[in-house]
A and B are shown apart, each in its own frame.
Chain A
Amino acid sequence: KAGVTQTPRYLIKTRGQQVTLSCSPISGHRSVSWYQQTPGQGLQFLFEYFSETQRNKGNFPGRFSGRQFSNSRSEMNVSTLELGDSALYLCASSPGRRPNNEQFFGPGTRLTVL
């Protein structure tokens, strides 16, 4: 079974721009969670989607948004980029039927904001 894939792997943007990251979950998994990883704050939960609906959201500003498609692929968007948005963005997929299903992570998208 193929693992979680994320595209692109690397991105360089400038302040004020917006960016869209993509995540394809493991086949059959319906839940996709997104995390931001930075050296200062560690791993922080952004949001989770299940069957095209956002079920949970972390404490991030509204500039961070996401969506999920009928094939369970998910995208996250960051608008009006700030320097502090530079991070590794990880998505994770799980079957999603229970809150505590184990999550399987993709390799991440490294975003650099200049």
Chain B
Amino acid sequence: GEDVEQSLFLSVREGDSSVINCTYTDSSSTYLYWYKQEPGAGLQLLTYIFSNMDMKQDQRLTVLLNKKDKHLSLRIADTQTGDSAIYFCAETTNAGGTSYGKLTFGQGTILTVHP
């Protein structure tokens, strides 16, 4: 079955890099996503990576995927206090049927950025 795991907390200093890690179990995972949730808000899609890619860079965000180990990471360069939020990784497959519209989420990592 599908399972996505994340570490619960990460604390960094402003200006440092943050690395948020995620592991998943479903070998048929096709797309892997990173979402950000600020207090009282919905989920904001940050970036995603297709399973045949190793890396994707988007401005301050770098996503690394190790498909063999089923490990995904999100690196935020030059972390700012405005980056403080909960970060979720999520996965979906291209299998059709029971995968339509369904994202499986990790439990979220609370990122705290100190001035």
Residues of chain A at the chain B interface (Cβ within 8 Å): 4, 6, 31-33, 35, 42-43, 45, 47-50, 55-56, 58, 90, 92, 94, 96, 98-100, 102-108
Closest 10 CB pairs of A and B: A48-B101, A33-B101, A43-B105, A105-B42, A105-B43, A55-B100, A100-B31, A56-B100, A99-B99, A107-B42
Chain A interface, >50% SS class? strand
* B43 and A90 contact, CB distance less than 8 A: yes
Interface CB pairs A-B, < 8 A, 22: A31-B100, A32-B101, A33-B101, A42-B105, A42-B107, A43-B105, A56-B97, A56-B99, A56-B102, A58-B102, A90-B42, A92-B43, A96-B100, A99-B92, A99-B99, A99-B100, A102-B33, A103-B45, A103-B103, A105-B43, A107-B42, A108-B41
* A43 and B88 contact, CB distance less than 8 A: yes
Q: How many A-B residue pairs have CB under 8 A?
A: 79
